[in-house]
């Protein structure tokens, strides 16, 4: 089978890695890819906004299935476009992509279909938002309605801070957002819960915990994710049952009722309090860096799974997971998540261990004359599995130490919460 993966991050490298392990794979292309995917797939450099060019490449390369990695092309309607051209593509259509593309859409859906989530208000008028803030408890969470590359959410501790953030969003800080969502602050522990979905059924597709804040001890500004591990210790059978019955299934039923059955990866960002799940956000794709740890734990053949999903036959599949733990530590360019250093050479990468239990998934990298350079905020994902989280963590950090990159930094405490409990 010939498969194309769209995207250029650690998530896409991890998807390519897992696809490449399948005997059913004939050809793998990655559009546009990075220096990591270049070693296992054919990178083709096309702008993901240019659907016509993508289509030309897919037909020229005789691609059977397309897997869309990032949210932007999904929100822009790439699935609708390719389906019209009779290309088999795995991901939600433009309407269903609003689950991530519009926080207002997602919150209204939760309200209508009784999915537990933080109480909220949606505003495009500053005075009305101000009144809502004046009547709310602090902290309050201020969110841009549309996609904002992980930068659209601020937890505000004072009324003034909340008003300032609302004003910035309504004044057009994010091109994608003319509306603002104000939310009750939920306390608890976060969990990333994944499902793979087709028109007829869905399957659990792994659990993980991410580390969104840039600083150790979970402080500082939000990032795309500084590291993750899987499985998430907080997930138990009772909680999983609640997640399915109260969140995933009502959402999938709602999308059917709205005339747009969901298909693709569905990533629920949850807050767990007293073993009860609350939906914080939906993402319409795999998580990054969660995908990196999940692809190393997935035992089943990913080509088979995606083949069945795109034929709406997931109900015939059994998805197996390895009984191990996996961790990824994200190596970032200094300055990230603000302005960061670019085009900096990463040395000694070849001395890192790459085997069944240790992988380095590239994100913002490119190759020039056999040297690897950075060109993104999140640059490498040092990923290892082990019999438990401590051994996975020790292997990741040991491998990371072999890399020599003066312009890089990383969090030294990935997994701290779970490891504290593992040691107790
Ligand atoms: P989002 O982009 O909606 O996932 O928000 C980014 C991060 O902000 C989440 O991962 C949480 O850490 C935090 N967050 C968002 N909404 C809330 C909320 N209602 N209560 C507490 N924390 C939240
Ligand atoms: N890990 C966060 C995200 O993929 O959005």
CATH number of the structural domain spanning residue 84: 3.40.50.20
pLDDT digits (tens, 9 = 90+) for 126-158: 999 999 999 999 999 999 998 887 778 899 999
**CB of 145 closer than 6 angstroms to any ligand 2 atom:** no
In a mutational test of the pocket of ligand 2, which residue from 71, 287, 295, 361 has the highest number of ligand atoms less than 8 Å from its CB?
287
Tell me the HSE value of 109 on the side-chain side, using a 13 A CA sphere. Answer: 27
Look at ligand 2, atom 3, and give the residue with the nearest C-alpha.
Answer: 287
User: Which one of the ligands is nearest to 103 CA?
Assistant: 1
Q: What whole-number distance in Å separates Cα of residue 35 and Cα of residue 37? A: 6
* The model's pTM: 0.96
pLDDT score for 7: 98
The answer on 387 and 283 residing in a single domain is no
Nearest residue to 327 (alpha-carbon basis) of 417, 255, 199: 417
Residue ending a domain, choose from 39, 73, 91: 91
Residues listed for the chain: 424
| Residues of the chain where predicted confidence (pLDDT) is lower than 50 | none
DSSP class of residue 16? H
Atom of ligand 2 nearest to the CA of 150: 5
Q: How far is the CA of 241 from the centre of ligand 2 (A)?
A: 23
**CB of 310 closer than 6 angstroms to any ligand 2 atom:** no
The answer on 223 and 287 residing in a single domain is yes
Residue ending a domain, choose from 155, 184, 213: 184
Q: What whole-number distance in Å separates Cα of residue 291 and Cα of residue 53? A: 27
In a mutational test of the pocket of ligand 1, which residue from 162, 280, 288, 417 has the highest number of ligand atoms less than 8 Å from its CB?
280
CA of 173: how far to CAs of 132, 166, 191, 391, in Å? Answer: 21, 10, 29, 43
Q: How far is the CA of 198 from the centre of ligand 1 (A)?
A: 27
Look at ligand 1, atom 15, and give the residue with the nearest C-alpha.
Answer: 280
Q: What whole-number distance in Å separates Cα of residue 68 and Cα of residue 63? A: 13
Q: Tokens 């209204």 appear where?
A: 108
The answer on 276 and 304 residing in a single domain is yes
Q: How far is the CA of 108 from the centre of ligand 2 (A)?
A: 22
Residue 399 lies in a domain: yes
pLDDT score for 10: 98
Cα distance between the two ends of the chain = 47
**CB of 121 closer than 6 angstroms to any ligand 2 atom:** no
The answer on 164 and 56 residing in a single domain is no
The answer on 211 and 310 residing in a single domain is yes
Domain count, the chain: 4
**Tokens (6 digits) for 299:** 């035992």
DSSP class of residue 73? H
Nearest residue to 325 (alpha-carbon basis) of 227, 393, 239, 417: 393
Q: How far is the CA of 93 from the centre of ligand 1 (A)?
A: 25
Q: How far is the CA of 225 from the centre of ligand 2 (A)?
A: 6
The answer on 83 and 48 residing in a single domain is yes
The answer on 312 and 194 residing in a single domain is yes
The answer on 81 and 174 residing in a single domain is no
Atom of ligand 2 nearest to the CA of 285: 4
Is residue 52 classed exposed, middle or buried when 0-12, 13-18 and 19+ CB atoms within 10 A define those classes? Answer: exposed
Report residues whose beta carbon is within 6 angstroms of any ligand 1 atom.
Answer: 118, 141, 143, 153, 155, 183, 185-186, 190, 212, 222, 269, 280-281
**CB of 210 closer than 6 angstroms to any ligand 2 atom:** yes
**CB of 288 closer than 6 angstroms to any ligand 2 atom:** yes
In a mutational test of the pocket of ligand 1, which residue from 122, 276, 281 has the highest number of ligand atoms less than 8 Å from its CB?
281
pLDDT score for 424: 55
pLDDT score for 423: 64
Is residue 162 classed exposed, middle or buried when 0-12, 13-18 and 19+ CB atoms within 10 A define those classes? Answer: buried
**Tokens (6 digits) for 205:** 């597709």
pLDDT score for 222: 87
Which range of residues forms the domain containing residue 406?
Answer: 325-423
The answer on 303 and 203 residing in a single domain is yes
Strand partners, 206: none
Residue 105 lies in a domain: no
Q: CATH code at 301? A: 3.30.470.20
């Amino acid at each position: 089978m010939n498969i194309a993966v769209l995207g250029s991050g650690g998530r896409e490298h991890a998807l390519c890695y897992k696809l490449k392990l399948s005997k059913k794979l004939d050809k793998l292309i990655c559009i546009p890819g990075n220096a990591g995917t270049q070693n296992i797939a054919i990178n083709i450099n096309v702008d993901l906004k240019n659907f016509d060019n993508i289509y030309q490449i897919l037909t020229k390369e005789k691609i059977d299935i397309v897997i869309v990695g990032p949210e932007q092309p999904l929100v822009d309607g790439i699935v609708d476009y390719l389906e019209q051209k009779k290309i088999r593509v795995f991901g939600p259509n433009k309407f269903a992509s609003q689950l991530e593309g519009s926080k207002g859409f997602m919150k209204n859906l939760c309200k209508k279909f009784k999915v537990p989530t933080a109480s909220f208000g949606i505003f495009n008028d500053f005075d009305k938002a101000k009144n809502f803030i004046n009547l709310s408890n602090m902290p309050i969470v201020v969110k841009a309605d549309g996609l904002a590359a992980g930068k659209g959410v601020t937890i505000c501790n004072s009324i003034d801070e909340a008003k300032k953030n609302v004003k910035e969003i309504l004044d057009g800080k994010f091109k994608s957002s003319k509306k603002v969502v104000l939310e009750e602050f939920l306390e608890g522990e976060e969990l990333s819960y994944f499902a793979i979905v087709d028109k007829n059924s869905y399957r659990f597709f792994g659990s993980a915990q991410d580390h969104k804040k840039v600083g150790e001890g979970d402080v500082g500004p939000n990032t795309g994710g500084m590291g993750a591990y899987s499985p998430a210790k907080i997930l138990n059978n009772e909680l999983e049952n609640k997640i399915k019955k109260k969140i995933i299934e009502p959402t999938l039923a709602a999308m059917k009722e709205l005339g747009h059955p969901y298909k693709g990866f569905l990533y629920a960002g949850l807050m767990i309090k007293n073993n009860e799940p609350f939906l914080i956000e939906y993402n319409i794709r795999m998580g990054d860096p969660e995908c990196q740890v999940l692809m190393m734990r997935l035992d089943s053949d990913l080509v088979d799974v995606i083949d069945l999903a795109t034929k709406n036959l997931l109900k015939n599949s059994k998805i197996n997971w390895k009984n191990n733990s996996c961790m990824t530590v994200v190596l970032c360019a200094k300055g990230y998540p603000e302005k960061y250093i670019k085009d900096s050479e990463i040395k000694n990468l070849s001395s890192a261990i790459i085997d069944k239990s240790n992988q380095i998934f590239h994100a913002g990298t490119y190759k020039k004359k056999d040297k690897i350079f950075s060109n993104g905020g999140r640059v490498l994902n040092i990923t290892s599995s082990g019999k438990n989280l401590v051994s996975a963590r020790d292997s990741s950090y040991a491998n990371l130490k072999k890399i020599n990159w003066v312009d890089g930094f990383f969090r030294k405490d990935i997994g701290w919460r779970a490891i504290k409990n593992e040691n107790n």
